[in-house]
Amino acid sequence: MAKVLDPFGAREARGSVGGITATKSRFGQILRAHRSPVQPRTSAQQAIRARMQRLNNEFLNLDIADIENWDDFGSNWPQPDSLGNSIKFTGLNWFAALNSRLDQAGIAHISTPPLNPNCSFNPTITISTSAAIGIRATFSTIQADQAIWFQWSNALPKTSNFLKGSVRQRDIALNGDASPHQLLTASDIAVYIDISRYQITAYPVDEQGRAGTKQRFDSYPET
């Protein structure tokens, strides 16, 4: 059922009724045809499903006291959804979210929740670009069980301003990785020099799987 935030029709509704889905973007209220979710079939999607199933089983095998601690953590730390509304995560939600990041980085899982959801790792990250070296990221030292996740787009027209859907996870820098860290080589960007740009985002993940603020960069390969 659609969620009405004001008297019906006064301002906005969210959710689905029959074949109509109501939502809101920065452009205002949107009504569109309801689309049934498509079951993921790619190898990457199946890998995510398998990981989440493993984490679900791992959570269920925790001691009762640990599960209760995770549930308390979820109750105490609600998070904003994509529309800014505060929602409560379950203990399983938090366990899976934090340990999924650790899992992908090859870092040992945590069985007890942290004191709070705030990332304790706040590195300084910069991006440099040139035709000779490609695109590199420079950052402060990464300690054990910390990581910096990098996402970037395909080559885009220089006029592209909004963050594109092709921005996706492509690399993780770990403890021991050198800085500067190569994201794209000179040969990767050679044919796009002077005519394109790349959208890049980076965010830190600490030893407990907590993610820091995502930083966005725009890279213009030029001679």
pTM of the predicted model as reported, rounded to 2 decimal places: 0.77
Give the CATH number of domain 125-219; options: 3.20.20, 2.60.40, 3.30.70, 2.170.120: 2.60.40
Task: Indicate the domain borders of the chain.
Answer: 3-33, 43-104, 125-219
CA distance 90 to 111: 15
Q: How far apart are the first and last CA of the chain?
A: 55
- Digitized pLDDT (tens) for each residue of the chain, 223 residues in all: 455 455 445 455 666 665 677 766 555 666 667 676 666 677 777 888 889 999 999 999 999 999 999 999 999 998 877 677 788 889 999 999 999 999 999 999 999 999 999 999 999 999 999 999 999 999 999 999 999 999 999 999 988 777 787 899 999 999 999 999 999 999 999 999 999 999 999 999 999 999 999 999 999 998 8
DSSP string, 176-209: T--SSEEEE-HHHHGGGTTTEEEEEEEEEE-TTS
